[in-house]
């Protein structure tokens, strides 16, 4: 079953959005297989956002993501990578649809509440960067048979 890395960014934690975001993914039918509140060290932030190291906003991005605790999660389910990106909405909240997380709660591209892996390769890389395999749990739920 597919897995993806999802993170409530420091603005989302400060604005009390952890519960809402977890609830959206739970109600959709996805399964939480790992989660932790953490403060991202600068080096991990630079590695995580390495694809943007040449961009003018890189310093600001690393500064923001390390500015306070984040809530890091791994979610599992059919097509979870692409579906999570749809649930998040477009990167810039001025372009994200209503009823998406960024569309409902974001106003600026710099503080857009949530991160989610954008491909199977990113998901594998980011899960490995943020979680030890011992922190991820495979388990059955009675509701699985009503979801699939
Ligand atoms: P994320 O990686 O955080 O999930 O966001 P994303 O895939 O939707 O967007 P991405 O292109 O990977 O950009 C990473 C983050 O950089 C910030 N950004 N700022 N000032 C700007 O023009 C600009 N462009 C991107 C955003 O906070 C974005 O989430
Ligand atoms: Mg991205």
Read off the pLDDT band of 2 (50, 70, 90). Answer: very high
Comparing CA positions, the residue from 74, 84, 76, 45 lying closest to residue 135 is 74
**Ligand 1 pocket test target in 7, 10, 91, 126 with most atoms within 8 Å of CB:** 91
Largest CA distance in the chain: 48
Architecture of domain 3-147: 2-Layer Sandwich (3.30)
Mean pLDDT across the chain, nearest whole number? 98
- Catalytic option among 70, 115, 126, 130: 115
The mean per-residue pLDDT over the stretch 9-15 comes to 98
Q: Do strands 114-116 and 3-8 pair parallel, antiparallel, or not at all (unpaired)?
A: antiparallel
In angstroms, what is the span from residue 144 Cα to ligand 1's centroid?
33
Average pLDDT (39-52) is 98
Q: pLDDT digits over 89-119, tens only? A: 999 999 999 999 999 999 999 999 999 999 9
Q: What CA–CA distance (Å, rounded) separates 32 from 67?
A: 25
In the 3-class helix/strand/coil scheme, how is 71-131 assigned residue by residue?
Answer: EEEEEECCCHHHHHHHHHCCCCCCCCCCCCHHHHHCCCCCCCCEEECCCHHHHHHHHHHHC
pLDDT digits (tens, 9 = 90+) for 61-71: 999 999 999 99
> Given pLDDT bands bounded at 50, 70 and 90, which one contains residue 142?
very high
- Output the six-digit token pair for 139: 């388990």
Look up 115 and say whether it is catalytic: yes
Per-residue pLDDT, 19: 98
Domain ranges of the chain: 3-147
Q: Give the helix/strand (H/E) hosting 69.
A: none
């Amino acid at each position: 079953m597919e897995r993806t890395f999802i993170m409530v960014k420091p603005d989302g934690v400060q604005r009390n959005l952890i519960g809402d975001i977890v609830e959206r993914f739970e109600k959709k039918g996805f399964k939480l297989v790992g989660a932790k509140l953490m403060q991202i060290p600068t080096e991990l932030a630079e590695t995580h956002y390495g694809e943007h190291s040449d961009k003018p906003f890189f310093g600001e991005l690393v500064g923001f993501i390390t500015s306070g605790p984040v809530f890091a999660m791994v979610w599992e389910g059919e097509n979870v990578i692409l579906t999570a990106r749809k649930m998040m909405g477009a990167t810039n909240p001025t372009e994200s649809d209503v009823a998406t997380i960024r569309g409902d709660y974001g106003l600026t591209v710099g503080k857009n509440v949530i991160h989610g892996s954008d491909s199977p390769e990113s998901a594998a890389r980011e899960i490995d960067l943020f979680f030890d395999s011992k922190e991820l749990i495979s388990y059955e739920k009675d509701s699985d048979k009503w979801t699939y």
